[in-house]
Amino acid sequence: MSGGVEIRVRVAEAEPVADGIKRLRLVPVDGGHLPVFSGGSHIVVSMQDGERRIRNSYSLMGSPRDTAGYEITVLKTPESRGGSIYIHEHAKVGLELTISYPLNLFPAAHRARKHLLLAGGIGITPFIPIMAELDEAGATFELHYAMRSAKLGAYADRLAERYGRRVRLYRSDQGQRIPVGDLLSNQKLGTHLYVCGPERMIEGVVLAARAAGWPGENVHLERFVAPPGGDPFKARLARSNIEVEVGPHTTLLEAVEAAGVDAAYLCRGGVCGQCETDVIACDGTLVHNDHFLTEAEHKAGKKLMICVSRFKGRELVLDL
Amino acid sequence: MLVSDIKSRPVYQGLRFDPKARRHLVAADDEGAIAVEALAGEGGDTFARNATVLYTGRDDGRARIEALKTDAVYVTPTVPTLLTRLDVILAAAGMTDRLYVAGDEGFIGQVVALGMRHGIDHVSIRTEHRGSLQRRVQCVHCKGITEGVTTSIATCAHCGLHLIVRDHYSRRLAAFMGVCADAEEPGVLPPVEEIFK
Amino acid sequence: MAAIAFKPGTYRDDFTFRNSEEAIRHFPFPFDKDSYMYAVNIEQHMPGPKKSATEFPIDVDEHYVAEMADRAMVLKEDPLRCQSQPHMITAEWDLLELLMSSMARDYPEHFALLRDGDRWHWINRPLGIEHRFTFGDTTTLPYGPMEYITRQCQGDFCLLDQRNDNLWMDAGIVTTQADWSLDFNLGMDFMEWHGPVPLAHDLGVFDRALKFLLNLQQGRPVRRLNWTMTVNPRLDTSPENYHKWGKDRASVTPENVGEKVHLRVELQALWRLPRSNAIVFSIRAYLIAMREVVTVPKWGRRLHRVLESLPPELVDYKGLTRYRDYTVAYLADYDDGAPTSPGFGPD
């Protein structure tokens, strides 16, 4: 229960949308309604893969007003910790899963005069309900959506059809790029910029915005990352007085949970701060992968976000 | 820099030059001109070529501003006429333009509030406190604003109540809160002290 | 559930407000020990004991009709008590849904909500209101959604927008407040609107509370209790009207303490709202006269000890300076020195 209220759901639809991209529709097992959500929200999906419990976060991409079911899109990433592979191989109609309540770490700025949305690849998903909301509210927005090829551009046709000139598509296999510099140079006051896509794209847009003189307050990033793997390591949990082993493809949080210790979490993507854990002793190097702690806190080494961060060295003791 | 432990009072960080901004929109009153001088010193030619400065206040400040030879200078007779002109400039401004303001607290507050009405986040506006510590005070009873309050107790310019000036500041109103000073025992006022000079 | 017998009563002029014996039992007494200091006393807003103020998420009690009449009077005199910035309209609808669905579910004798898609039909029997409207269409309500429903629900409500890792008070209806002004605080962030509170900033209370609230989840509301004291059962102790009610504070005498001095407890609850990602902060004020407090022996003893040991900054901030000593003296007669049991409830 440390991640909050959970809901049992069943896969009602599972269809491929593009190469290696699968859309799932999840409906409540008890036949009731799911909570209304706001555009930009994600849910944590818990999967039971044999002995292993995998929990991954996915953006909700259906209509925020559709409470009969939630939709998520899953990109198959072979190097991942297994969640996306599990879904691609096992998530067929009828499979039961557990999901969390929606949590929004990438909301639209309600006061914006205009919303400029930049998506790269699978990063399109949070923008689908955001655009639905903005459209319903009569807000001004523009989507610039970059994809490697038409085949990899999930939902591109559907969005172009629905929103017409407010959607622009860019295919890198045809040498097309989002003209970020030009886009940023002539926006009126009160415009907000959002970017979701590969880490490199996010960094690029952030740099471009800074170079163009945009204030950081108007730039919003969907930062939330799939936890990276790494070398295996051990950690001792002082309060529980046990030691856990963290494999190359599992996270510290998962290892803690597998050992039966109840640790707080929400986003499982290094953003929300809920799993902040005190480091009691550390003989080695903390590998911080989160976007929550400040640089100074990373350097100080007193805290660790156990959902995404790791450790290299001899001994790590945590206050858990 | 104005150091204060009033939690709702903005922190005026100083006019740091933003080399990335395409245009620099600067508002200043009286001693704010000294801060603009320093800003121009930091920004050099780039600043001068791309700066629009709006000024209201004493002649010495005006001379300082005019000596900077910025792209455009507007000297206005009063704060409201400065705000009217800035309002139109901001209506045409873009995300790559930066707003700066220097002067006394009431002046900064009014320029920041105007910027916010144009969709600028208040954090994006660079501010520097210069000059008097006098306060703009809103009477919480009649909602009237009394300018230039320097004393712990002031008379509301609108409804005439004696107001005690609370250490609580509203960015939206660009004013401190004034609350009736003798509500509990009408006619019995604490001593008046000049404390916001 | 038995229907509530709504009581007449006024919160101004002749002050005919009184608590029934049942209402005294229902009162959310805020002290779980014999002294008081700030703490992040936030807990899950789970259903409390039957007949208590926390039995249901939105509490309706015997004062409902009288309180709504008082709110209407405050708003007629001063419409600035209800304000909402344009970007909060979705949060207003979220609030309307939360309040209507809670009240209809938990008090079916008094309220009903029939939903057919976006077409909603609301019945409020105590106030004699029946209205059909389209959810999401403001032109189908006589007021904005927040004002419409909060004119029918006890307690003040503030809607907080979440952005830049902070919460911003961008809408609210505030007519039963302990000396703070919505008009003044509108648009402030969490630290700013708590600015005037003494001591707690240094204790880090607000930093911790903000961090907690930024991750507040849908479906997991939280609550806390806050308290102050008020002379006469006056709900509208606003700064706006301080020049009218301030003299009440000088009217307390050793003879009238029991009648005049009231403990004022705020049951504050916070919900994450689904469509807007905003938070609603509800502040429900309960009043109880000293002579009513001492009918519960444990409360009389404990309040005596709390007031006697209250730090001077808090005495001043809560506006008790003029009448604290009289109140302590009055309560001393009900404190036999016996130990009190832990927890909030009567022994």
Q: Give the residue numbers spanning the domain of B67.
A: 23-129
Separation in Å, CA of C300 to nearest CA in chain B:
28
Q: Are β-strands A191-196 and A219-221 bridged in parallel, bridged antiparallel, or unpaired?
A: parallel
Q: Which range is least confidently modeled, A264-268, C62-66, C86-90, C318-322?
A: A264-268
With cut-offs at 50, 70 and 90, classify the pLDDT of residue A303: very high
Residue B112 sits in the same domain as residue B159:
no
Homologous superfamily of A233-318 in CATH? Beta-grasp domain (3.10.20.30)
Which of these is catalytic: C132, C224, C284, C305? C224
Residue B2 has pLDDT above 70, yes or no: no
User: Any chain A CB within 8 A of the CB of B36?
Assistant: no
SS3 (DSSP) at C204: coil
Q: Considering only residues 182 to 221 of chain C, which have any Cβ-Cβ distance to chain A shorter than 8 Å?
A: 211, 214-215, 217-220
User: Any chain A CB within 8 A of the CB of B117?
Assistant: no
Q: Considering only residues 55 to 94 of chain B, which have any Cβ-Cβ distance to chain A shorter than 8 Å?
A: 90, 93-94
Residue B119 sits in the same domain as residue B139:
no
Residue B49 lies in a domain: yes
Cα C18 to Cα C10: distance, rounded to the nearest angstrom? 9
B8–C188 CB contact, under 8 Å: yes
Cα A170 to Cα A149: distance, rounded to the nearest angstrom? 9
- Which of A40, A102, A111 is facing C218, going by the closest CB pair? A102
Q: How many domains does chain B have?
A: 2
Q: Quick count: other Cβ atoms within 10 Å of Cβ A93?
A: 12
Sequence length of chain B is 197
Which CATH number do you get for residue B94? 3.40.50.80
Residue B124 sits in the same domain as residue B140:
no
Separation in Å, CA of C98 to nearest CA in chain A:
12
Residue A289 has pLDDT above 70, yes or no: yes
Residue A1 has pLDDT above 50, yes or no: no
Cα C56 to Cα C50: distance, rounded to the nearest angstrom? 9
**Mean of the per-residue pLDDT values for chain C?**
94
Across the range A253-282, mean pLDDT stands at 89
pLDDT in tens, B43-57: 999 999 999 999 999
A187–B98 CB contact, under 8 Å: no
B14 or C342: whose pLDDT is higher?
A: B14
Residue B52 sits in the same domain as residue B93:
yes
Cα C193 to Cα B55: distance, rounded to the nearest angstrom? 32
Residue B27 sits in the same domain as residue B54:
yes
Q: In terms of CATH architecture, what is A6-104?
A: Beta Barrel (2.40)
pLDDT in tens, A110-145: 999 999 999 999 999 999 999 999 999 999 999 999
**Mean of the per-residue pLDDT values for chain A?**
91
Q: What is the pLDDT of residue C268?
A: 96
- Which of A112, A113, A213 is facing B18, going by the closest CB pair? A213
> Among A264, A269, A266, A237, which residue's Cα sits nearest to residue A251?
A269
Q: Considering only residues 21 to 80 of chain B, which have any Cβ-Cβ distance to chain C shorter than 8 Å?
A: none
Annotated active-site residue C224? The verdict is yes
Q: Looking at the domain A114-221, which fold is it?
A: Rossmann fold (3.40.50)
* Chain A residues inside the 8 Å CB shell of C220: 4-5, 101
Proportion of chain C above pLDDT 70, given as a percent: 99
A77 or C218: whose pLDDT is higher?
A: C218
With cut-offs at 50, 70 and 90, classify the pLDDT of residue B153: very high
Across the range C223-240, mean pLDDT stands at 95
* Chain C residues inside the 8 Å CB shell of B122: none
Residue B106 sits in the same domain as residue B165:
no
Residue B1 has pLDDT above 60, yes or no: no
Q: What is the pLDDT of residue C42?
A: 82
Separation in Å, CA of C188 to nearest CA in chain B:
7
Q: What is the pLDDT of residue A224?
A: 64
Proportion of chain C above pLDDT 90, given as a percent: 84
Residue B123 sits in the same domain as residue B139:
no
Residue B186 lies in a domain: no
Span(s) in chain A for CATH 3.40.50.80 = 114-221
A50 or A196: whose pLDDT is higher?
A: A196
Residue C1 has pLDDT above 60, yes or no: no
Residue B102 sits in the same domain as residue B168:
no
Residue A279 has pLDDT above 90, yes or no: yes
- Buried-state track A15-51, b at ≥16 Cβ within 10 A, e below 16: eeebebbbbbbbbbeeeeebbbbbbbbbbbbbbeeee
Residue B145 lies in a domain: yes
With cut-offs at 50, 70 and 90, classify the pLDDT of residue A222: confident
Across the range B35-41, mean pLDDT stands at 98
Cα C51 from chain centre: 18
pLDDT in tens, C60-77: 999 999 999 999 999 999
Residue B35 sits in the same domain as residue B118:
yes
User: Any chain A CB within 8 A of the CB of B172?
Assistant: no
A189–B121 CB contact, under 8 Å: no
A186–B94 CB contact, under 8 Å: yes
Residue A159 has pLDDT above 80, yes or no: yes
DSSP for C16-59?
A: -----HHHHHH-----SSSS-------EE----STTSTTSSSS-
Residue A141 main-chain phi, psi, to 5 deg:
-150, 165
* Chain B residues inside the 8 Å CB shell of A187: 94-96
Across the range B162-178, mean pLDDT stands at 94
Residue B28 sits in the same domain as residue B121:
yes
pLDDT in tens, B11-23: 899 999 999 999 9
With cut-offs at 50, 70 and 90, classify the pLDDT of residue C127: very high
Q: What is the pLDDT of residue A192?
A: 98
Q: What is the pLDDT of residue A2?
A: 60
Q: Determine which of B50, B95, B112 to mutate to test the interface with A (most A C-beta atoms within 10 Å).
A: B95
Residue B125 sits in the same domain as residue B151:
no
Residue B89 sits in the same domain as residue B73:
yes
Q: What is the pLDDT of residue B3?
A: 62
Contacts of C280 (CB under 8 A, 6+ apart): C91, C94, C95, C98, C157, C158, C159, C160, C270, C271, C273
pLDDT in tens, C91-107: 999 999 999 999 999 99
Span(s) in chain A for CATH 3.10.20.30 = 233-318
pLDDT in tens, C246-289: 999 999 999 999 999 999 999 999 999 999 999 999 999 999 99
B183–C164 CB contact, under 8 Å: no
Domain boundaries, chain C: 21-64+154-332
In the numeric block, the tokens 């901030």 are attached to C317
Residue B40 has pLDDT above 50, yes or no: yes
